[in-house]
Amino acid sequence: MKNKSHSLVGVIMGSKSDWKTMIHCCDTLKKFGVKHEVKIISAHRTPNRLHKFLNEAKKNKIEVIIAGAGGAAHLAGVTASITTLPVLGVPIESKLKGLDSLLSTVQMPSGIPVGTLAIGKAGAINSALLAISILSTVHKKIYKKLLIYRKNFEKKVPKKPF
Ligand code: RP5
């Protein structure tokens, strides 16, 4: 039997410096009331932490993992290679404006997929919304919240540009 209050999403990021971007992911998850856990985990700086987190994620019934990383951003790809959970990658803005992060995250050779979002804040927000879409296929409450969000989202777009 599932504990109703367990985290559904694991949000990991390579460095504390990624938090100013990934906070937008967590804020979005919060708006939908989606419980999540947040950790600094780097594929190259803390590989043991990554393995421990993924073992626990399985036991704790996490359903989606979001990984934000910048530069040589292999966190999402390495994560996806260890787990069968869906992994969403957020390329963090970097010295190369995030293009390095984007390519490192998106250009996975066939076999191990990473669902890659846009660079920076938009990607962080969309990673949460995509996780919410994935969860909404089995969690009715989340599905209802997503429908309301979409309805309101459309209303916010002005009909005229002036
Ligand atoms: C990556 O290196 C992190 O994801 C971060 O975006 C980047 C720079 O890290 P710091 O030098 O700011 O810790 O692993």
Q: Which atom of ligand 1 is nearest to 16's Cα?
A: 13
pLDDT higher than threshold 80 for residue 79? yes
Strands of the sheet with 64-70, listed across from one edge: 36-40, 9-13, 64-70, 87-92, 115-116
Three-state secondary structure call for residue 28: helix
User: Given the structure tokens 């309805």, which residue do they identify?
Assistant: 151
Q: What angle do CA 80, 34, 85 make, to 5 degrees?
A: 15
pLDDT at 2: 47
pLDDT at 1: 43
Kindly state if the Cβ of 70 falls inside 6 Å of ligand 1. Answer: yes
pLDDT tier at 63, thresholds 50, 70, 90: very high
User: Considering the chain, what is the average pLDDT of its residues?
Assistant: 96
Q: Which of 17, 22, 119 to mutate to test the pocket of ligand 1 (most atoms within 8 A of CB)?
A: 17
List pLDDT tens digits, range 102-120. Answer: 999 999 999 999 999 999 9
pLDDT higher than threshold 70 for residue 4? no
List pLDDT tens digits, range 90-100. Answer: 999 999 999 99
Task: Fill in the DSSP letter of residue 160.
Answer: S
pTM, rounded to two decimals: 0.95
Give the span between the Cα atoms of 157 and 159, in whole angstroms: 6
Q: How far is the CA of 61 from the centre of ligand 1 (A)?
A: 28
Strand segments (E) across the chain: 9-13, 36-40, 64-70, 87-92, 115-116
